[in-house]
Amino acid sequence: MHRLAALLFCVSISPASLALWNNPYPDSQTSENILYSSFSERPKHLDPARSYSAGEYAFIAQIYEPPLQYHYLKRPYTLVPLTAINMPRVTYIGAEGGRLGEDAPVSDIAFSEYEIQIQAGIRYQPHPALAKDKRGEYLYHSLSDDQVDQVYELSDFMETGTRELTAADYAHQIKRMANPQSHSPIAGVMSQYIVGFAELSEEIETTLSTLEDGEFLDLRQFRLEGVTIVDRHTYRIRIRGKYPQFLYWQAMPFFAPLPWEAERFYAQPGLKEKNITLDWYPIGTGPFMLAENNPNLRMVMARNPNFHGEHYPATGDEVDQSRGLLADNGKPMPFVDRAIYSLEKESIPRWNKFLQGFYDNSGITSDSFDQAIQFNPQGEAALTAEMSGRGIRLSTAVATSIYYMGFNYLHPVLGGSGERARKLRQAISIAVDFEEFISIFRNGRGVAAQGPIPAGIFGHHPGEAGINPYVYDWVDGRAQRKPLAIAKKLLREAGYPDGIDNTTGKPLVLHFEAIGSGPDEKARLNWMRKQFKKLGIQLIVRATDYNRFRDKMLKGKSEIFLWGWNADYPDPENFLFLLYGPNSKAKNNGENASNYANPEFDRLFERMKNMENNTERRKLIDQMVAIARRDAPWMWGFHPKDFSLHHAWVRNTKPNLMANNTLKYLRIDPKLRADERQQWNQPTLWPLGLMGGLLGVSIIPAIISFRRREKSTAL
């Protein structure tokens, strides 16, 4: 009988009969149409007025729908309507109030008015804030203490409701940005453009001071001069002057609609204490809604049953057809029913779970780079045989970002527009070999920058026309960094032959402001010192924490620093404004961290920034880039290259670094995933038997020894 039981046990735990022991998800989900991914840092805010980071947009961009979005496949990045029926109609208005033509000079334009008409019939996701009783009264707008006591999650509200999206909801959200309580990061920018925005902020602040703590502020009672509701589905935004980039903001969650009912609902006493706030429980019209909000563990997006529907794009780039990216042309989206994002702080478990098939996509960290990627003789990145064998696919894209090394233009030695300082900066720009930096520290994931504008942005020139002639030569069909001798010559002309200051006879000593001093950082800093050493310049690293670093930058006390910028929108203005004099960080708390100032550059920028993309604008940009390259306020650093991996069962993956609402385009083959997981994750049981055996064997001598001792005499 015992033998039979043992046999049954052995059969029952044989690998073929086992479910996956290491599956972190319930077995019931195995064949479901769910996308699995991870996030490494819990989002701080999910309020569209406040959220401003990629990690937060990964969630809210699937929920909130601004009027515009980026075309998923087309490059360069192109805006298309989302909830809007058409692209906004722009009207230019002169100082006298008269309408101007589209080609009116920028100086004549006092206001631009954007008229946006949204689709009728769009409805919000089911939400208790919109739930009504039979009499049409809101069910949960006047919660009693007892009701609040019984609620722990938003899902504890049994009833939900919906209503149609209206133009007033978009207007309401713009007012929310003006509300100082919302702490919207772009309130400062918008107050410069949207008519009446700053005034509304002041008015709200005054009103807030008269309210009791926690009292609901109904923004419907306030008027925002620059926003007009034309009819139920149409609204106008009036901004000062001409600002074509305003359209790009309309594709960001800041300008997504928000129903007043949501604010009224969340403002009730007691809900905040249970973290039931608008900041944590979004309400939108998008393809997904937040079904589970546990930022400490997982975030679950579920298909919004009220979604208005959208179809997969029918057109794309030339290569999209051959890559199968147009196979779902015209099919209704979204394709997945749910998306489960698990919090995964450490890269090792995250990577291993991807390899086990429990995450559908993954980035590549330095630790796993060699396992995943190899470079062919032409220097192109490709997957290793191990990854290819698993059917994993690699997507790469040059980010619309730049990491640059800046010189503080206010510094007496490095800064200023004088010939001496300029040649010194140019010499250093040649000496610091960013191709080597990319190769050593970024595993080749980057493109050395030739100027401030990355590829894919209007104004960028590929090939020979786009090289920085002060740092590179065009040799054998590629940009080649100038020889060090040129840098030494420039240094000599600057008055520092071999790094010795002519005036003092002492070595030139420069300071690099570094953030952090860990082992990885130490290698980078040593490399940096070596680059300056090539010219005989002593580089002293001043390592500090980010707070102190930021403080130095704000006070203009830095010398050389490394910083970066990730584009808000794909327009050259969003990069060139980093060099615009009045945006000086030290003087005006702007984004010009190097405090670069060149009157000619500034003059051209002011002309260029409000122009449409045309030949004239391109010429101006070329002039500005040429000036910046000559003045070299930055070593231009590099544009990072994003590498991402996807399993074979994930379809329609194309990196789109401007769009955030990309979840709806992804399609999953759950059957293939289940099969692959089963194949890759069969439990290996022999180690358990081996351990038990070893334990048993090791006990035998102890038992023998014990018996011998028990039987032995005392003397």
Given 3-state DSSP classes, what are the helix, strand and coil percentages for the chain, each rounded to the nearest 5?
Answer: 35, 20, 45
Residue 234 beta carbon to other proteins: minimum distance, rounded to whole angstroms:
29
* Residue placing its CB nearer to other proteins in the complex, 644 or 682: 682
Token pair recorded at residue 305: 């049953």
Q: How far apart are CA 590 and CA 380, in angstroms?
A: 38
Amino acid in position 322: S
DSSP state of 132: B
* Residue placing its CB nearer to other proteins in the complex, 177 or 620: 177
Contact 49, 249 (CB under 8 A): no
What is the sign of the dihedral through the CA atoms of 432, 435, 438 and 441? negative
Q: Which residues bind other proteins (CB under 8 A)?
A: 20-24, 26, 42, 44-45, 52-53, 180-181, 183, 185-189, 205, 272-275, 277, 279-280, 294, 296-297, 342-346, 348-349, 352-353, 355-356, 545, 547, 550, 568, 589, 591, 681-685, 687-688, 701-702, 705-706, 709-710
* Residue placing its CB nearer to other proteins in the complex, 180 or 391: 180
Alpha carbons within 13 angstroms on the beta-carbon side of residue 651 total: 17
Distant-in-sequence contacts of 92-100, Cβ < 8 A, 24+ apart: 92/242, 93/238
Token pair recorded at residue 573: 């203005």
* Residue placing its CB nearer to other proteins in the complex, 21 or 375: 21
Residue 83 beta carbon to other proteins: minimum distance, rounded to whole angstroms:
25
Residue 180 beta carbon to other proteins: minimum distance, rounded to whole angstroms:
5
Q: How far apart are CA 55 and CA 327, in angstroms?
A: 29
Helix (H, G, I), strand (E, B) or coil at 605: helix
Helix (H, G, I), strand (E, B) or coil at 10: helix
For residue 217, what are the contacts with CB-CB under 8 A and spacing of at least 6? 179, 181, 204, 207, 208, 211, 267
For 420-524, strand residue ranges (E) read: 446-448, 472-475, 478-481, 509-515
Residue 343 beta carbon to other proteins: minimum distance, rounded to whole angstroms:
6
Give which of 506, 332, 350, 524 is closest to 442, Cα–Cα. 524
Residue 152 beta carbon to other proteins: minimum distance, rounded to whole angstroms:
9
Residue 323 beta carbon to other proteins: minimum distance, rounded to whole angstroms:
32
Residue 443 beta carbon to other proteins: minimum distance, rounded to whole angstroms:
21
Burial class of residue 542 (count of CB atoms within 10 Å of its CB; 0-12, 13-18, 19+): middle
* Residue placing its CB nearer to other proteins in the complex, 146 or 710: 710
* Residue placing its CB nearer to other proteins in the complex, 102 or 273: 273
* Residue placing its CB nearer to other proteins in the complex, 36 or 496: 36
Burial class of residue 509 (count of CB atoms within 10 Å of its CB; 0-12, 13-18, 19+): middle
* Residue placing its CB nearer to other proteins in the complex, 90 or 685: 685
* Residue placing its CB nearer to other proteins in the complex, 50 or 127: 50
Residue 698 beta carbon to other proteins: minimum distance, rounded to whole angstroms:
9
Residue 52 beta carbon to other proteins: minimum distance, rounded to whole angstroms:
5
Residue 75 beta carbon to other proteins: minimum distance, rounded to whole angstroms:
25
Q: What DSSP string describes 328-347? A: TTT-EE---SEEEEEE--SH
Residue 536 beta carbon to other proteins: minimum distance, rounded to whole angstroms:
35
Q: How far apart are CA 512 and CA 262, in angstroms?
A: 49
* Residue placing its CB nearer to other proteins in the complex, 342 or 652: 342
* Residue placing its CB nearer to other proteins in the complex, 22 or 78: 22
